Amino acid sequence: MARCEWIPSREGRAVRIGDQELAVFNLGDGFLATDNECPHKGGPLCDGIVTGRAVVCPLHGWKINLESGVIERPGGAGHPGVRTYPVRIVEGVVAVGIPGGDPDDSVDTDTLHNCHQIQA
Amino acid sequence: MSRLIVVGNGMAGMACVEQIIKHGPRYQITVFGDETHVNYNRVMLSSVLAGEKADDDIVIHTREWYARNQIDLRVGVRIVDVDPARKTVTGDDGSTTEYDTLLLATGSSAWMPPIAGLDKDGVFAFRTLDDTRALLNRAGPQTKAVVIGGGLLGLEAARGLQVQGCQVTVVHLMATLMERQLDAAGGQYLVAKMEQLGIRVLLGRSTTAIIGRGRVESVEFSDGERLEADLVVVAAGIRPNVELGRKTGLLVKRGIVVNDYMETSSPDVFAVGECVEHRGICYGLVAPLYEQGKVLAATMTGHRGPTYTGTVQAATLKIMGVDVFSAGDWANAPDHVRFEDPREGCYRRVAIKDGALAGVILVGDTSDSHRYLDWLRTGAVVTGRRELLFPPPSSDAGLDVAEMADSATVCGCVGVSKGTIIQAIHEQGVHTLSQLKEATRACTGCGTCASLCQGLLRAVAPDFEDEKKTVMCGCVPFAEDRLREILRSQKLRSVQEVLEIYGNGVGCEVCKPALSYMLDMLWCGDHEEDKSARFINDRVHANIQKDGTFSVVPRIHGGVTSPAQLRRIADVAEKYRVPMVKITGSQRIDLLGIKKADLPKVWADLGMPSGQAYTKGVRMVKTCVGTEFCRFGTQDSTGAGIELERRFEQLYTPHKVKMATVGCPRNCAEATVKDIGLVGIEGGWQVVVGGAAGKSVRKADLLVTVEQTEQALEAAEIFFQYYREHANYLERTYDFVERLGIEKVRKETVYAPEAVRDALRDRFRKSKARARDAWLEGQAPVNPTQFATLVPMET
C-alpha cells in the first residue's frame, strides 16, 4: 500500500506490482485504482487530469470512469473499458486488492487476499 | 451587342460596370486602365502605407472577375485621344479602338501646387499603388518626411509614414487642420491628437519651394523659414482629369458636367467618378461615386429613371485612436450644440436647421456616427429631442444594432442598409463577414463599418462565426474576459476556490489548465499553484511522448551554443542512453525518450535551464547571424535575440509564443511568421506580431518601427504582456491579432498613453521577478513522489 500523503488529492501515481503497473488515484474522499494503461493506445492514466470520478488520458484525451472502468468519452468507442481494482484504506495506508491466479475471480474486499501495500 | 469602352479602371468606373452587368448582357465591354494593376481599393492605400495590408489585400476585382464577365481589360494603356465623329479612342500604345458607347472614368490626379522644385528626387504624390510602393521604399527610421497638405489624405499619409519609422511633419496652408471637415475647435483637438502620436503639425504655412541638389533636402515657406526633409509627399488636393472630356467635345467646367441621370452633353458618352461635376460639385469620396454609378448604370442600360440628386457628404478619419467624423453642413446653421471633454480628447458639434440635423462634427469618439448620418440623410426631426443628440454610449453593441431601423445605412461607402444585410443573412444564409462582403459589397469601401456589420451578424445570423468561443466549458460558465475580472476583483488565487465558488466544484481537463494560467497571469506569479489542475507536461516540465516517456529540450538562447554546452548534452544523452537526439526547428536540441523518473537527474546533469518546449509559454527566439558576421546584416540580430529570450524566458502565456530576430529583410530566421519578430532594417527595427507558420500560416503585422534595439525590446514586452492579459486561453497571437485588428492592438499597446504602457511593462516585470526555471523543481519536488513509480510497501 501507499501512505495516503504520497498521492496528492486529485492526482494519480503509477504503482508497479510484479510485472503489472497500476494507477492509483486520490479522489479526496477516497482512492480508486485501475490498470495504468489507457484502452486506446496504452497511455499512462496516472498522469491524466482527474475530473470528478473520471480521469482524462494525457495522450489523446479519452475519458475513463475510475469506478467502473468504462470509457465515458469518446462514447460508442466499442473498446472494452479498463480494469479496476478494489481499494481500502487501513490506518492511513492504501490497500489495493489484486486477484490472484484467475483474473475472473471476483475480489472479496472483506478478506482481501493477496492484498498489496504500496510505498514509494 | 453594343461596344462599350470604359476609359479608366478605378473604383468608380468598375463599380458602375458591375451595376451595368447586373442589368443584363447588353454591352461588349473593353476597359483601358493606365495603371498596370487590376481595380484596387484606392481608399485602402493608407492601410498599405501603414503596413496593415498588403497589395493583394486591397484588390477589388481580380482578373478572374474580368474574365468571368467577358470584359477585355487592357492595363497599362493610357487613352490619349478620342475622335467623337469616328467614335474611336487612341491609346499611348498606338492602338485605335472603336466604340458605340464611351464611358469616361478617368478619375483625378493629385494637384501639384505652384511650388518650385517639385521635380526633385524624393517628392511624391500619394495617389496610386506605385506611389505607395515608392514611399514604402524610402520610408524608415532615419527619414525626415514632410507632408504638404493637412486634409484627410495628407493625415493618412503622415500616419503611414510615421508607423514606418519616419519623423513626420504635416504642413498645412490653413489655420485649421482638415478645415473642410472641422471647425476651429475640432481642428485643435485633432492637432493635439496628431502630436500625441508624434507627428508634428505646422498650420498657416504656405510652402513655396523644395530645396536640394537633385535630391530633396528641405522645404521652404513663404516667410523664408526652412524645414529639413528627405521625403516630401504632396497631398494638397485633387483635380479631375477632364482632358479626354474636352477632346470629346463635352461640356466641361471643373469636371465633366452631368445631369441628374448622369448624362453628359453627348448622347454616346457618359462619365462617372471623380472626373464628373454634378450640380457644381466634384466628389472626392467613394460613397457618392458609387451612388452615381448605380444611377448611370440604369440610364445606360435602357432603364433611365432613377436620378442622382447629390449626397450628404460624410468623411471619416480613423487612425490609431484619432477618430474624426464629419458630415453635412455644420457651418451655416443657426442652432448649435457642442460637447467637449478636453481630458478625453473628445469634441462634438451638432448643427440644427429647421428642426433637423444639418451637420455634425465628431472628434475622439465616433462610434455612433452612423446614427447621426442616418438623421442627416432622412432629415429626421430633432426638435424636442435634444437630449438624444448626445446619448450616453451604448455599452452593448448588440443593443445598438437592434435599435437601428431597417432603412438605416450601415455601410456608408457602398450604401448598404441594415435591411439589405438582414435580407442577405436570412435569404442567402450569410453568416461571416467575408460572405457579407461578397453578397452585399458592404464593408468594401473604407472598412470602418466592420464592427457594425459584425454586430448585426452576431445578433441575427444563427450560425454566426465570430471570434473563438470565449466560454471554455460547462464547468465555469462565464466568458473568459468576465472570468478574469471576477478572479481579479474577488481576489481568488486557487483553481479549487474558483471552481467551488463560481463553477461546478469539479472542473475538467479544459478549464483547470486555463484557470491555472489565468491565476498565474493575474497575480504575476503570486497565486496558489495546484499541480492537479495542470496537464502532465506542466507537472513534470517535459513533453509526454506516445509511449509515456518524455522529451527534454534545454534552453539554448538565440540558437547560439558552445562546445562545452554541446559536450554536456552529449554526455547526458550517452549516460541515460537517450534513444533519439534531435535538432529542432526552434534552433535547439531535443533529447527524446527519457523516463519520468530520470527527469530530475537529467536536468541536474545538464545544468541548463528548461527550454519550456512542452508548455503554453515562451518557447524560443530564433536568430539569423546579423552584423556579427553576416555581410548583409544591418542589426545585431543574435545579440538582440539572446537578450529577447533572456527577458521573456520562464513566463507563461495563453498559448505558446515563438519569436525570432533577423538582421535584415532577407529574413533568414523567418521573423515575419512568428508571434513576435524583430526585423532589422537600416537605422532601426520593425517589430512585427501575430505571425505563424505551422498549422496556420499568417504573415505578422507591423506593430511599430523604432530606431533603437532597446525600444524594440520594450515594444515586444508591451505587446507580450497585453497578449497575456487579453487573449483567450489557447488563442495563438495569430488568432488574437487577427481578431482585434492591428490598429486596435497598436492603439492599446505601443500607441497607448504612457501610463498604460508603463503599467503593462510593470506587470511584465513583476511576473518576471517571480518567474523561475521550472527545472529547479528537480532539486526539491513539490511532492516527493511526483516523478516516481511507487512499489508496494513491505508488509
Query: Do A49 and B508 count as a contact with CB atoms less than 8 A apart?
Result: yes
3-state DSSP helix/strand/coil % of chain A, to nearest 5:
5, 40, 55
Q: Kindly give the pairing relationship between strand B200-202 and strand B167-171.
A: parallel
Distance set, CA B462 to CA B256, B296, B428 (Å): 48, 37, 12
Shortest Cα–Cα distance, A104 to chain B (Å): 23
Q: Which residues of A touch B784 (CB under 8 A)?
A: 6, 120
Which CATH code is given to the segment(s) B317-391? 3.30.390.30
A89 touches chain B (CB under 8 A): no
pLDDT over threshold 80, residue B448: no
Confidence of residue A118 (pLDDT cuts 50, 70, 90): low
- Collect contacts of A34-41 with beta carbons under 8 A, ≥24 apart: A34/A64, A34/A66, A34/A69, A34/A82, A34/A83, A34/A84, A34/A85, A35/A82, A35/A83, A37/A82, A38/A62, A38/A64, A38/A82, A39/A64, A39/A71, A39/A79, A39/A80, A39/A81, A39/A82, A40/A77, A40/A79, A41/B546
Which CATH code is given to the segment(s) B123-236? 3.50.50.60
3-state secondary structure of B308: coil
**Domain pair B2-108+239-300 / B123-236, same fold:** yes
Confidence of residue B321 (pLDDT cuts 50, 70, 90): low
Shortest Cα–Cα distance, B737 to chain A (Å): 29
Query: Do A16 and B790 count as a contact with CB atoms less than 8 A apart?
Result: yes
Query: Do A16 and B791 count as a contact with CB atoms less than 8 A apart?
Result: yes
pLDDT over threshold 70, residue A116: no
Neighbours of A54 (CB within 10 A): 24
Query: Do A119 and B509 count as a contact with CB atoms less than 8 A apart?
Result: no
Confidence of residue B388 (pLDDT cuts 50, 70, 90): low
- Collect contacts of B224-230 with beta carbons under 8 A, ≥24 apart: B227/B146, B227/B169, B227/B171, B227/B202, B228/B144, B229/B122, B229/B144, B229/B145, B229/B146, B229/B169, B230/B122, B230/B138, B230/B142, B230/B143, B230/B144, B230/B145
Gap between the Cα atoms of B649 and B639, Å rounded = 15
Q: Which residues of A touch B507 (CB under 8 A)?
A: 51
Report the pLDDT averaged over residues B402-413.
Answer: 81
Q: Which residues of A touch B510 (CB under 8 A)?
A: none
Cβ pair B508, B532 in contact under 8 A: no
Which residues between 531 and 570 in chain B have a beta carbon less than 8 angstroms from any beta carbon of chain A? 531-536, 539, 544, 546-548
Considering CB atoms only, which of A24, A43, A120 is closest to B788? Answer: A120
B339 touches chain A (CB under 8 A): no
Report the pLDDT averaged over residues A92-97.
Answer: 82
Report the pLDDT averaged over residues B479-499.
Answer: 93
Query: Do B788 and A13 count as a contact with CB atoms less than 8 A apart?
Result: yes
Higher-confidence residue of B779 and B408: namely B779
Q: Which of B112-126, B182-196, B421-435, B607-621 shows the lowest mean pLDDT across its residues?
A: B421-435
Q: Which of B234-243, B435-444, B540-549 shows the lowest mean pLDDT across its residues?
A: B435-444
pLDDT over threshold 80, residue B128: yes
Q: Which of B61-70, B336-345, B777-786 shows the lowest mean pLDDT across its residues?
A: B336-345
pLDDT over threshold 90, residue B3: yes
Q: What is the pLDDT of residues B694-736, one digit of tens each?
A: 988 999 999 999 999 999 999 999 999 999 999 999 999 999 9
Query: Do B785 and A7 count as a contact with CB atoms less than 8 A apart?
Result: yes
Report the pLDDT averaged over residues B157-181.
Answer: 95
B508 touches chain A (CB under 8 A): yes
Q: Kindly give the pairing relationship between strand B657-662 and strand B207-211.
A: unpaired
Gap between the Cα atoms of A96 and A32, Å rounded = 9
Q: Which residues of B touch A21 (CB under 8 A)?
A: 789
Query: Do A119 and B794 count as a contact with CB atoms less than 8 A apart?
Result: yes
Give me the pLDDT at residue B272, please: 96
Q: What is the pLDDT of residues B466-480, one digit of tens each?
A: 544 567 888 998 889
Q: Which residues of A touch B792 (CB under 8 A)?
A: 1, 15, 17, 116-119
Q: Which residues of B touch A117 (CB under 8 A)?
A: 792-795
Shortest Cα–Cα distance, A59 to chain B (Å): 7
A66 touches chain B (CB under 8 A): no
State which residue of chain A sits closest to B549, comparing Cα positions: A44
B790 touches chain A (CB under 8 A): yes
Gap between the Cα atoms of B214 and B230, Å rounded = 12
Query: Do A58 and B532 count as a contact with CB atoms less than 8 A apart?
Result: no
Considering CB atoms only, which of A1, A13, A42 is closest to B793? Answer: A1
Give me the pLDDT at residue B166, please: 95
Q: What is the pLDDT of residues B595-626, one digit of tens each?
A: 999 999 999 999 999 999 999 999 999 999 99
Cβ pair B165, B705 in contact under 8 A: yes
Higher-confidence residue of B369 and A71: namely A71
Query: Do A8 and B536 count as a contact with CB atoms less than 8 A apart?
Result: no
Report the pLDDT averaged over residues B379-394.
Answer: 71
Q: Which of B213-222, B395-404, B751-760 shows the lowest mean pLDDT across its residues?
A: B395-404
Which CATH code is given to the segment(s) A2-117? 2.102.10.10
Q: Which CATH architecture has domain B615-772?
A: 2-Layer Sandwich (3.30)
Size of interface A-B (CB pairs under 8 A): 89
Residue by residue, DSSP assigns B464-486 as ---SSP-B--TTS-SBHHHHHHH
Confidence of residue A104 (pLDDT cuts 50, 70, 90): very low
| Domain residue spans of chain A | 2-117
Residues linked to residue B791 through DSSP beta bridges, in sequence order: A119
Residue by residue, DSSP assigns B642-687 as HHHHHHHTT-B-SS-EEEEEESSTT-TT-GGGSSEEEEEETTEEEE
Prediction pTM value = 0.77
Give me the pLDDT at residue B382, please: 80
Give me the pLDDT at residue A103, please: 41
The CATH T-level fold of domain B2-108+239-300 is FAD/NAD(P)-binding domain (3.50.50)
Q: Which residues of A touch B793 (CB under 8 A)?
A: 1-2, 93, 117-119
Considering CB atoms only, which of A2, A8, A118 is closest to B532? Answer: A8
What are the strands of the beta sheet with A11-17, ordered from one edge? A84-85, A31-35, A20-26, A11-17, B789-790
Query: Do A119 and B790 count as a contact with CB atoms less than 8 A apart?
Result: yes
ipTM: 0.88
Which residues fall within 8 angstroms of residue B760, CB to CB, at 6 or more apart?
B717, B718, B721, B722, B725, B749, B752
Report the pLDDT averaged over residues B646-667.
Answer: 97
Cβ pair B42, B274 in contact under 8 A: no
Q: What HEC string does B143-184 produce?
A: CEEEEECCCHHHHHHHHHHHHCCCEEEEECCCCCCCCCCCCH
Query: Most B CBs within 10 Å: which of A17, A27, A47, A89, as the mutation test of the B interface?
Result: A47
Confidence of residue B750 (pLDDT cuts 50, 70, 90): very high
Give me the pLDDT at residue B374, please: 84
Q: What is the pLDDT of residues B18-28, one digit of tens each?
A: 999 999 999 99
Cβ pair B301, B327 in contact under 8 A: no
Query: Do A50 and B532 count as a contact with CB atoms less than 8 A apart?
Result: yes
| Domain residue spans of chain B | 2-108+239-300, 123-236, 317-391, 405-463, 480-534, 615-772
Give me the pLDDT at residue B404, please: 80
Grid coordinates representing B457 are 451578424
Does domain B405-463 match CATH 3.30.2130.10?
A: no
